Amino acid sequence: MASTQTLVARARTDETLIDHTGWIYWPIAFIARLPFAMMTVGVLMLVVAATGSVGLGGLTSAAVGIGVVIAGPLIGALVDRHGQRRVLVPVGLANGLLLAVFPLIVLSDVPEGVLLAAALAIGLTAPQASAMSRSRLLTIITARLSLERQAQTTTRIMAYESAADETAFVIGPFLVGILAALIAPWAPIAIAAVLSFGFVTAFALHPTARVVVVGEDAAAQPAPMRAVFSAKVLVLVAATFAVGMFFGSTLTSLTAFAQARGDEAQAGLLYGLMGIGSAVLALGVVLLPARFALSRRWIVFSLVVTIAAIGYSTADSFASIIVWLLLMGLGVGPTLVTLFSLAGARAPLGRAATTMTLLGSALTLAQALSSAFTGWLAEAVSLHAAMIVPAIAGVLVLALGVVNAVAERRRA
């Protein structure tokens, strides 16, 4: 018992989180997110540019998302059991290889089935560095920081991670738009392949991947897998799915809007505008008072998303589109921070990676499925019908926020 207490005392010091990660971890972990942030948008725009079909582009993007949701929870469970290094190295290398050959497949005029299979394989090997980073940092906080530092540090890290995700979602589509416009539509996917080979591997091999909980915390058995699928976690998964639906439908309807005006490459640039306020507000969440509870933040910021998305559905010019995109960003960033902060608090013992990848998979799957559906709406029904879908997604996030608040009150 004395030796266990000594291990815990050594692990939980008054040093800061950066003392345990080192400064180099943060740029590596950030850049490792970019292939994941670029692949859905890059696949969509490459297929649209090569085939001229927004519907097929959305369907191919949906195949990426389906692959992510199939493999994401499995990758998370493997990481919880075997550690990040053993899982992420082969996954990252496989993903880089598949991204590298995808432009060749698209430009070879292959049957649609081959195209969809290749996109599915990209999703199956998506490394989800953001979920892995959240899980890794939560482990370091638990294993290395003093008890009085853990709660505040966890809140700050969830805010940072969500802001980093938002920034990646800004930079990813922005890079896709810039590279497609300046070089060729295949360039964004090629660059994503290079980043996956280099930075996902560097992220997997970073020393922080070896940190484990010691002492009494390590002795505790992980919660059973069914604990991850409790109502209080599933409501977060559902809300994250709705946020992904918002992202996918916004991007695809924006692509259709830009295509109708003769320049679909502008879609990535315009989509990036939404993330400017989103990333800033996501970082600013740490300044909100503790009495502004997470359940209330969810409702307030999702209401901002909903109102802005309704305005977006009525836009008829690039100027009005820009205004509503900026306003939507002010709501969606803090909403994501809230959802992942709640996920960090509600993750069952020993299932942090599984919980985070489940949310990340839901986000990506919804983004891809809504891209396919919105692309079909734009082609088969009307552009206006496609631009209504983000508002529907905003209403879903808001409704689930109300459900969560009611459930929390009942549990209390």
Tens-digit pLDDT profile for residues 169-196: 666 766 777 787 778 888 888 888 998 8
Place of tokens 């029904």: 381
Q: Which of 93, 290, 315, 278 is nearest to 173 (CA)?
A: 278
Residue 145 φ then ψ, to 5°: -100, 155
Residue 27 CA to residue 18 CA, distance in Å, equals 13
Model pTM score: 0.72
Tens-digit pLDDT profile for residues 105-152: 988 878 888 889 999 999 888 877 877 888 788 888 877 776 767 777
Instruction: Judge whether 235 and 400 are in contact, CB under 8 Å.
Output: yes
Q: Which band of pLDDT confidence, cut at 50, 70 and 90, is reported for residue 23?
A: confident
Six-digit token string for 261:
């005006």
Q: 309-336 b/e with 16+ CB inside 10 Å = b?
A: bbbbbebeeeeebeebbbbbbbbbbbbb
The 3-class secondary structure across 354-371, one letter per residue, is HHHHHHHHHHHHHHHHHH
Helix (H, G, I), strand (E, B) or coil at 261: coil
Residue ranges and CATH numbers for the domains of the chain are 2-411 (1.20.1250.20)
Residue 322 CA to residue 314 CA, distance in Å, equals 13
